[in-house]
Chains A and B, each alone.
Chain A
């Protein structure tokens, strides 16, 4: 008997291929686990019947020795930001509480075409706005990991908190996430997983509920680097339905190990040694550096001088785009509509006042403000210019190095309820992930060590545009060196 709790995608595929077990059995196991660990609140919508149907179809293919997809029979979680045909899609918001799309996002379609099995739609911060999964209309998600020194429930990170928590808790083999300023990498780091944000344009945004269109990218959250490579391979495609989708040739990410780290230059940006960087995380960073040295990489100091402007820039551009992207939720055509509707203005105001949560409203107000006449130049336009400077910083740095190694977050997972009073404190979670988002670069977070509370610390590797294989390979160096 296979111990399903020990499986990852790669070993599960092998078991399915060897007919050690069926996808239906595997799926039933995870359904059982999801029910058992319901208190983690990982899923907004469970699709168990559909999962069994999909698993049966995969089993049939396997039995008949038909051509199999890259993820044939693998049960996964789908962040509730991806529109799934005939399955409720909420983006974690009351305003979409009853929304059932009649179309499929390109990323989810690609995954079903690869044979993946949908267990359910994972919980998330409302419209992906949050870093702790505490803004969802469907309640907080709880991190399955705990400090060994106390029993407090910890946040899983956000916004892809349900995805990260479900993978870490063994409720699915992998999950999709979306990353606007760190929403894949930060929760992956908090839950001890691998999270990859591809180059902007690599995954289609069609059918993905938009937060900040110029930053949003889909990506995988998984147990291992190899699993991430496999998930990524299935998710990406050029898509004519997304005008920002890249036509660049897609390489075989599963061959990532061909990217040899020996002799490669690993850049360490001095500006990432920020005030407030946890000492244990600094130590993990140093440890990471030593691992790259030991595989023959050369460590070079690089400078990304505009790093300290990245967070304010991000918190102007992302809310600005969101203020327009979320204007469509007006109670007119779909989703939540307030009862009070004596006139049009009241219908709008009440629908949006009742339909959106506090954090979303805060960002919509910021976004509306920075685009307003008289403020546009000082805020939005300036932010666009700084964004360009930040991109240029990376271009310059990549003339001196091949990859950049940094911590993913300044701190490890914190107890639910903390950092709730001052939004800035919450926003600081993204300080190390946001620069790569603004530059549209591929970046991966991989767990490197555990702190004294035995909580995971993630390191981030940032790569050149469309060189996802390079960051996968570098992540595998950490995965191989960390000793757990």
Chain B
């Protein structure tokens, strides 16, 4: 479905490009050995380079390079054999060197693409480039009335800036792009994708145009840190631009900020005010030269990507594309599924995972990963259903309560006295008792009112306190009632 903004003068289409900043998962920083752990006391994870001490020199952390290459490979991108680190010069208190080491003209990763699913179809989004850079520290302005403080723990952490082509044309596509990108990064373990911690954030470039027209002037919305905000920011910004143009005004190329409290973007600085960063090659770092062998080694190490996993799930477990897509949207869910599905009926597993468990999580408003639910907890429950120890219905009824405990399913239903009656003679006894106690109904049934079958089932279940195996009750009743 085509997305457009309805203006007074007709429909406007959106042109969207994203620059995603992803913090690389690594134990130490891009150019220093300082730890990158989150939540440490301020300024406890800082080495000479990270605090810009005189005579400090940057030394490349090879692991970060490998992570960037892996990411490049997973985005079907060309890996540049030679790339250059540049200094991006500007003054800011949380930028201790007075420049950020980044890559400007020669990034480590060049053109690539990734596919998103949109309206049931596929769309390929071009990747312009991926480059490496240092993160800045943090300024804290709310700790004291007179002073600002600086925490350099984040200073020098490795970031990948992943720049897309302006290939997206709706907020939904932008959201799908970020989700897919985040998912890929998590699958290959190069970024944890945590947007709340700021480990993944996006600059969104928005412009509007009438269909077939030249590209419009774009505005860049900086540092948007949730997928919902990305969509809201785009919606607001596109409408703002359409209104302005239709009023006969011009769009000024500028950097804007999104304010989530009132869903609007506001100007941060215009192009004229924009910094002259005076990029130049960092003389402390020789060009980064990679050889084919090292790249190939990493290519072989690349784990299964979401799209590959999806295809495999469809083939291996004979499940629908729809179900497979749900499973691979999160690496954690896919892994969870794979741990449970071994030796079990995939259809039952999927239903329990994506319907029952997901609705439980939705009620609690947490992700599967956050819930810390042990896969064994789900698999032991499914086993009880498959082996007819409890009914599907029983299982659903007890699920919420069960998940709050830390026992396995066997122990839980034993404690609850929930074991299903699957003993044939016991069930036959129950059935016979019900038939005997309801002679009128039996007569009516025999005279042709076969609808009453359900009444008998219900009575048997009631008599057994819901513990009778429904399938066996059905079978036994059928046998007893058949002429």
Chain A contacts to B: CB under 8 angstroms: 82-83, 89, 91, 96, 99, 101, 103, 105, 205-210, 212-214, 240-244, 320-321, 323-324, 326-328, 330, 332-334, 344, 348, 368, 371-373, 376, 380
Contacts and interface: CB of A to CB of B under 8 A. Distances in A.
Given A324-B98, A327-B97, A214 B54 contact: no
Contacts of A99: 54
B317 interface: no
29 contacts: A82-B55, A99-B54, A101-B54, A101-B55, A105-B55, A205-B57, A207-B55, A210-B54, A213-B282, A213-B284, A240-B59, A241-B59, A243-B58, A243-B60, A243-B285, A320-B280, A324-B97, A324-B99, A327-B98, A327-B99, A328-B97, A330-B93, A333-B51, A333-B52, A333-B150, A348-B91, A371-B280, A372-B278, A380-B280
A103 B57 contact: no
A371 B286 contact: no
A242 B57 contact: yes
B48 interface: yes
Interface in B36-54: 48, 51-54
- Secondary structure at the A interface, as helix, strand, loop or mixed, is loop
A373 B286 contact: no
Interface string B52-91: 1111111110000000000000000000000000010101
A375 to B, nearest CB: 10
A429 to B, nearest CB: 23
B96 interface: yes
- Secondary structure at the B interface, as helix, strand, loop or mixed, is loop
Nearest to A345: B91
Contacts of A380: 280
B283 interface: yes
B276 interface: yes
A240 B33 CA distance: 12
A103 B53 contact: yes
B60 A327 contact: no
Contacts of A373: 276, 278
Given A327-B89, A327-B98, A241 B280 contact: no
A295 B96 CA distance: 55
Contacts of B150: 332-333
B191 to A, nearest CB: 25
Contacts of B53: 101, 103, 328, 334
Contact of B55 (A210, A243, A344): A210
Contacts of A83: 54-55
A324 B96 CA distance: 12
Contacts of A101: 53-55
A324 B57 contact: no
A64 B213 CA distance: 88
B284 A243 contact: yes
B59 A333 contact: no
Most buried by A among B58, B150, B278, B279: B278
Nearest to B87: A324
B280 A324 contact: yes
A348 B99 CA distance: 15
Nearest to B139: A344
A206 B286 CA distance: 15
5 closest cross-chain pairs (CB), A and B: A327-B98, A214-B283, A213-B283, A371-B278, A328-B52
B54 A206 contact: no
B98 A330 contact: yes
A326 B58 CA distance: 16
A483 to B, nearest CB: 42
Given A105-B55, A244-B283, A328-B54, 9 more contacts: A213-B283, A214-B283, A243-B286, A323-B89, A324-B89, A324-B278, A324-B280, A328-B53, A330-B91
B57 A243 contact: yes
Contacts of A214: 283
Contacts of B58: 243
Contacts of B89: 323-324, 327, 371
B98 A376 contact: no
A38 to B, nearest CB: 27
Instruction: Report the interface size class on chain B.
Output: 20 to 34
A380 B89 CA distance: 15
B93 to A, nearest CB: 5
Contacts of A208: 55
Interface string B276-313: 10111011111000000000000000000000000000
B280 A89 contact: no
Contacts of B283: 212-214, 244, 321
B203 to A, nearest CB: 20
A389 B57 CA distance: 28
A323 to B, nearest CB: 8
Most buried by B among A82, A324, A348, A372: A324
Contacts of A326: 98
Contact of A89 (B51, B54, B91, B276): B54
Contacts of A103: 48, 53, 55
Contacts of A241: 57, 59
B57 A368 contact: no
Interface string B87-109: 10101010011110000000000
B96 A333 contact: yes
Interface in B254-280: 276, 278-280
Nearest to B54: A209
A35 to B, nearest CB: 29
A323 B52 CA distance: 14
Contacts of B56: 206
B283 to A, nearest CB: 4
Contacts of A334: 53
A71 B190 CA distance: 49
A285 B372 CA distance: 81
Contacts of A105: 55
A209 B55 contact: yes
Contacts of A89: 54
Contacts of A244: 283-286
Contacts of A209: 54-55
A383 B283 CA distance: 14
A376 B284 contact: no
Nearest to A201: B286
Contacts of B55: 82-83, 101, 103, 105, 205-210
Nearest to A206: B57
Contacts of A82: 55
A207 B48 CA distance: 10
A89 B56 CA distance: 14
A332 B93 contact: yes
Contacts of B60: 243
Nearest to A204: B57
Interface string B423-439: 00000000000000000
A130 B284 CA distance: 22
Contacts of A323: 89, 278
